[in-house]
Structure 1
Amino acid sequence: MRILHTSDWHLGQHFMGRTRTREHEAFLHWLLKLLDEKKVDALVVAGDIFDTGTPPSYARTLYNEFIVSLQQTCCRQLLILGGNHDSEATLNEGRSLLACLNTRVTAGISDDPEDHVMVLEDGTGSLGLILCAVPFLRPRDLVRSAGGQSGREKQLAMGQAIQSFYSRVFEAARSTQADLARDGRALPILATGHLTVVGGKSSDSVRDIYIGSLDAFPASGFPPADYIALGHLHRGQAVKDRDYIRYSGSPIPLSFDEGGRDKQVLLADFKAGALAAVQPVAVPCFRRLV
């Protein structure tokens, strides 16, 4: 089974007073062609679809038209995760309608971890992969602030809450995996996330998302999924010593310090119930920032 991992589109972004519409249009057109060329089974967008919680109408149009156009490709499964720039309400507006177009949106978290577990199909229609769909985890959804807590105590509480949430979702995924294994189907598990991991390289356009509570989440806090598709950092990179934990990075440069860096999407191949390979695919430069 083949997954394409991307993130941080930031549709609707203005940079130095100029719209990025043409660059985003060019990227989405290129992406549609790539999905067919590479025979991708499912597309995972790990957060920050939009640049703001109230995206302009043209950004919403780009998003909706892309989803419609996706139906004409071999990739019939789209997984959208909410990021820190996204509004849960905005992403959830068309959730039921988009489900009819094989698009599943996870904008926020549910009290039931099973709501975050999905089984994806490969190109033949057979079950191919289990997804732990984890969006950006907002502090208000995970922890209650207590008076008198030090900064360090708040950091520990937030880190533990994130780890606990991942553990509960992963256990639900493991249960699904065990049920399918009894039928002779060995499926890998892919988890998503939208946060900063310890050691990740940031850029000027990335906002701190856990100010005062958590600078970065340790990679050791993730469950042992076969692949972890991350968003939030705009530089494509693998987490040190854990090649299966990856940031795809943003597809277009969002600040001057990103202008000289290559952009990418990631192809993740799974075989025999495990990750087989991860292949970066360079995104063309549609406009240089100078």
Structure 2
Amino acid sequence: MRILHTSDWHLGQHFMGKTRFDEHKAFLHWLVGQVMAHGVDVVLVAGDVFDTGTPPSYARELYNGFIVELQQTGAQLVILGGNHDSVAMLNESRSLLGCLNVQVIPGLQDHMDHQVLVLSDKNGRPGAVLCAVPFIRAREVMASEAGQSAADKQQALQQAIASHYQQLFERAEQQRRQLGLPLPIVATGHLTTVGASSSDSVREIYIGTLEAFPASAFPPADYIALGHIHRPQKVGGHDHIRYCGSPIALSFDEVGQQKEVLLVEANGEGLRTVTPLPVPTFQPLARLRGNLDELAAEMKKVSDNSAVPVWLEVTVTGDDYLSDLQPRVQQLAEGLPLDILLVRRQQTRSGDGLTAERGLTLSELTPVEVFEQRLASEPLEAERQQALNTLYHQLLVQMEEDA
């Protein structure tokens, strides 16, 4: 059984006044080519198919066009809803797409058995059992109780998600026994995990009201295909728990990341191999930093190394406050295949300390981490800091419940 693990397409993203239509179209066409070249049996999309719950019509056309183009490969397609996706919108065409060998799981289902799928190879033979878990909203798995603290609610949500995974895994094992075949069990997820790492370092990352889900709380599936984090990585050093990341850079903070999809091979003995397939760069992005003289040289270098116009984020350093900074930077790029999307001045305040010390970009910090680090930099008494931190977490819990 060969599974192609991808996620976080964010079709329809509007990027600083630019459409990503051409990039997404090129990526989806490339993806179909990879399915054919590698004899893929199942394409698994682990959430955030669209960038918003009300995607523009061209984004829906890309989605439908990909499904049509994939039909020629004979591969099965499984779509999981993410936190950016609308459950109602994905559910609209669910029954119709079911006739095209496409399984759509927009959100948690009324019956857990509907989230346990038997994946078949191109010959129609069972090849794996899937615990199809989309993005889980707190209200779907737990009820708020009076008197619970923010920490209590976080713990209850973690336990509820872990329980959901365990119940699905038990049903998958039962399905495997009924088939009488030694099939691998695969699980999905669209969430943040403890142990998600960048490069060689390991750090905790957070989202919403749930402090990151621990890898140890996942059931013992042979492979766990995750979405939501845009940087491809293993979780806690485990080969079988993976984020494939987004296929294109969705912000300038992601410049320099090698984007990829993952080719997963598994059989009755379990996981065999996980092979990253590098995604080509369809639209180059670059971040430049320096004074005006240095930027002129850097712009020339960037333009010489690209056959297509490059989208730029420019940070101007120096102490001089220039009122005409934007026109001056734009003038440097005249006649070059460059498109300057953002010009900023170097921040001289201590705000950069949120990320500089740890070598992280702001997009890799969650709102909780940003708040806590910013609060720690204020000259407040410990009791006052604790009170503000508690209020902030209570606000996040309330927002999650109202979402």
| 2:73 match: secondary structure | coil
- How much does 1:201 deviate? 4.3
Cα RMSD over matched residues?
1.3
- How much does 1:270 deviate? 1.1
Q: Report Cα offsets for 1:203-261 as digits up to 9, x if no partner.
A: xxxxx9852x3121000110000000000000000111321000010000001111111
Q: Is the 8 A contact 1:46 1:81 kept in 2?
A: yes
Which amino acid in the other structure matches residue 92 of structure 2? E
Q: Does 1:265 align with 2:261?
A: yes
Which amino acid in the other structure matches residue 80 of structure 1? I
Which amino acid in the other structure matches residue 189 of structure 1? I
Q: Does 1:190 align with 2:186?
A: yes
Match of 2:70 in 1: 70
Match of 1:164 in 2: 163
* CA distance in structure 2 between the aligned counterparts of 1:57 and 1:41, rounded to whole angstroms: 29
Match of 1:122 in 2: 121
* CA distance in structure 2 between the aligned counterparts of 1:97 and 1:72, rounded to whole angstroms: 18
Match of 2:9 in 1: 9
Match of 2:356 in 1: none
* CA distance in structure 2 between the aligned counterparts of 1:50 and 1:225, rounded to whole angstroms: 27
* CA distance in structure 2 between the aligned counterparts of 1:215 and 1:56, rounded to whole angstroms: 33
- How much does 1:154 deviate? 1.0
- How much does 1:94 deviate? 0.6
Name structure 2 gaps, 5 residues minimum. Answer: 199-204, 287-403
Name structure 1 gaps, 5 residues minimum. Answer: 203-207
| 2:264 match: secondary structure | strand
* CA distance in structure 1 between the aligned counterparts of 2:59 and 2:111, rounded to whole angstroms: 32
- Matches for 1:141-160 after TM superposition, within 5 Å: 141-160=140-159
- How much does 1:165 deviate? 0.6
| 1:30 match: secondary structure | helix
| 1:101 match: secondary structure | coil
Match of 1:80 in 2: 79
Q: Does 1:113 align with 2:105?
A: no
Instruction: Go from structure 1 to structure 2 and tell me whether the alpha carbon gap of 1:111 and 1:93 turns closer, same or farther (over 3 Å shift).
Output: closer
Q: Single out whichever of 58-67 and 170-179 deviates more from structure 2.
A: 170-179
Structure richer in helix, relative to its length: 2
Match of 1:234 in 2: 230
Q: Which gives a bigger RCO, structure 1 or 2 (Cα 8 Å, sep 6+)?
A: 1
* CA distance in structure 2 between the aligned counterparts of 1:173 and 1:33, rounded to whole angstroms: 31
- How much does 1:200 deviate? 1.6
* CA distance in structure 1 between the aligned counterparts of 2:71 and 2:190, rounded to whole angstroms: 26
TM-score, L = length of structure 2: 0.68
Q: Report Cα offsets for 1:31-90 as digits up to 9, x if no partner.
A: 111110011001000000000000000000000010011111142x00000000000001
| 1:71 match: secondary structure | helix
* CA distance in structure 2 between the aligned counterparts of 1:167 and 1:144, rounded to whole angstroms: 19
* CA distance in structure 2 between the aligned counterparts of 1:68 and 1:111, rounded to whole angstroms: 29
How many residue pairs are counted as aligned between the two chains? Answer: 280
Q: Structure 1 stretches (4+) deviating beyond 2 angstroms? A: 208-211
